[in-house]
């Protein structure tokens, strides 16, 4: 029987965050793809294998789950350098986009080809057969619309192949991906799990267990507000909105281009400008350090006001709420604006994760805790089944 490896993957609109095995490997890849040809030109081809594979992901993807099969793509950092780079558009459904699946398969394949995993998966010449138990998630809105079942059915029961083309270290390798099990969790519920449980399923935050909580997860394309009551998400009151930070980041990127003549590769470059520790909200224009505060403040404050309005409306309908946690990459971008608005307006009891990584990796961590809990329970059940009958 083929051994199954645990994978917890958050296909975020900004980037993919993935955790594998016994927490021994993490991957973070920009969620950007670009159509390409099979023989992309490389300067210094003989030095290809000395480079970082994550900076040169060039793959062909074959999967019955894709609308457009057998596509050839640049992924992540390599895609940002392309004129035809694609990021997910506002209003799109994560569960229905080929890009979501392409990024998911690419991430799994990058784990499968690691030298450390040669013992985990059978390999015949240049083909690796990889079997995974996957924990992932979708926005609350899509789960409420029942799209999680369709998304899961695209993954299970099929073989999905990733072929590495002109990729450092992995050129010529093929990975056949199968799923032992796939669990698709609603993102708001996952955030709550991450707040109260550790990696072994033990309660770490007893104070929150019986509180009435809101969790406002601000992503790239959407915002989920989970209403937690009696340790469960209230499905009727939980809400998903088509409002994320991507549109605002795109607006900042466009205004910087038109005002300063500076072309930024992707939204991720914009995030870096507005969140970096030193020289925040500054760019280099013809070699001179230049402030873009006027652009970023105006656009992000406008978005923060819209996010605050969502909080206010949901809190009004759930008046006994005790605290709201803001999570996700979008919350990290809007943190200071939301704090200022709250101090000047309603003064709700709100909280943020000061640790940037904790906030951005919250979903991946939550999926890991949930899928590991599922694996432990399944192993326990199987152990009971094979226990010999006592006479």
Work out the average pLDDT over 93-110: 94
The runs of H, that is alpha helices, within 88-174 are 98-112, 140-144, 147-155
For residue 35, how far is the Cα from the chain centroid?
21
Phi-psi region of 306 (alpha: psi -120 to 50; beta: other; left: phi over 0): alpha
Work out the mean pLDDT of the chain and round it to a whole number: 87
Residue 43: what are its φ and ψ, rounded to 5°? -80, 125
The pTM of this model reads 0.85
Q: Which of 38-47, 80-89, 115-124, 290-299 has the highest mean pLDDT?
A: 290-299
Question: DSSP string of 373-388?
Answer: HHHHHHHHHHHHHHSP
Pairwise CA distance, residues 126 & 129, whole Å: 10
CB 40, CB 56: distance < 8 Å: no
pLDDT at 162 over 90: yes
Q: For the chain, report the end-to-end CA distance as a whole number of angstroms.
A: 30
Instruction: List every span in the chain annotated with CATH 3.30.420.40.
Output: 5-185, 210-360
pLDDT tens-place string over residues 311-357? 999 999 999 999 998 988 888 889 999 999 999 998 999 998 767 77
Inter-residue contact 325 to 213 (CB < 8 Å): yes
Distance (Å, whole) CA 95 – CA 230: 29
* pLDDT tier for residue 164 given thresholds of 50, 70 and 90: very high
Q: What is the pLDDT of residues 26-59, one digit of tens each?
A: 999 999 999 988 877 665 554 667 789 999 999 9
Residue 134: predicted pLDDT: 97
Residue recorded with tokens 């299970």: 156
The pLDDT, as a whole number, for residue 329 is 81
Share of the chain above pLDDT 70, in %: 94
Opening angle at CA 98, ends 95 and 100, nearest 5: 55
Give me the CATH code for the 5-185 domain, please: 3.30.420.40
What CATH topology corresponds to 210-360? Nucleotidyltransferase; domain 5 (3.30.420)
Q: Token pair of 127, please?
A: 């083909």
106's tokens: 């690419």
């Amino acid at each position: 029987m083929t051994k199954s490896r645990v994978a917890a993957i958050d296909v975020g609109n900004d980037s993919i965050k993935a955790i594998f095995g016994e927490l021994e490997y993490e991957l973070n890849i920009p969620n950007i793809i670009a159509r390409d040809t099979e023989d992309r030109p490389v300067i210094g081809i003989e030095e290809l294998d000395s480079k970082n594979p994550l900076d040169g992901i060039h793959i062909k993807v074959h999967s019955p789950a894709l609308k457009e099969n057998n596509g050839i793509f640049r992924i992540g950092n390599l895609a940002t350098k392309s004129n035809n780079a694609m990021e997910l558009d506002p209003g799109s459904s994560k569960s229905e986009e080929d890009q979501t699946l392409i990024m998911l398969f690419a991430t799994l394949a990058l784990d499968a080809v690691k030298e450390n995993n040669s013992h985990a998966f059978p390999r015949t010449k240049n083909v690796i057969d990889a079997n995974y138990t996957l924990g992932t998630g979708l926005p609350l809105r899509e789960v409420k619309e029942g799209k999680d079942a369709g998304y899961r059915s695209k993954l299970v029961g099929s073989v999905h192949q990733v072929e590495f083309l002109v990729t450092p270290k992995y050129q010529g390798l093929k990975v056949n991906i199968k799923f032992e099990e796939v669990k698709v969790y609603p993102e708001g519920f996952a955030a709550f799990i991450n707040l109260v449980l550790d990696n072994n399923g033990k309660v770490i935050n007893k104070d929150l267990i019986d509180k009435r909580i809101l969790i406002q997860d601000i992503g790239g394309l959407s915002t989920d507000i989970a209403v937690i009551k009696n340790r469960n998400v209230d499905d009727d009151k939980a809400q998903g909105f088509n409002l994320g930070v991507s549109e605002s980041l795109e607006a900042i990127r466009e205004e910087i281009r038109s005002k300063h003549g500076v072309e930024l590769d992707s939204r991720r470059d914009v995030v870096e400008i507005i969140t970096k520790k030193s020289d925040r909200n500054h760019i280099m224009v013809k070699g001179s350090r230049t402030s873009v505060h006027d652009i970023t403040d105006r656009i992000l404050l406008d978005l923060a006001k819209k996010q605050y309005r969502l909080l206010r409306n949901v809190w009004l309908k759930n008046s006994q709420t005790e605290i709201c946690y803001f999570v996700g990459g979008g919350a990290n971008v809007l943190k200071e604006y939301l704090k200022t608005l709250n101090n000047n307006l309603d003064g709700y009891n709100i909280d943020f994760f000061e640790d940037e990584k904790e906030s951005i990796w919250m979903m991946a961590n939550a999926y890991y805790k949930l899928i590991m809990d599922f694996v432990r329970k399944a192993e326990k059940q199987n152990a009971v089944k094979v226990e010999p009958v006592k006479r």
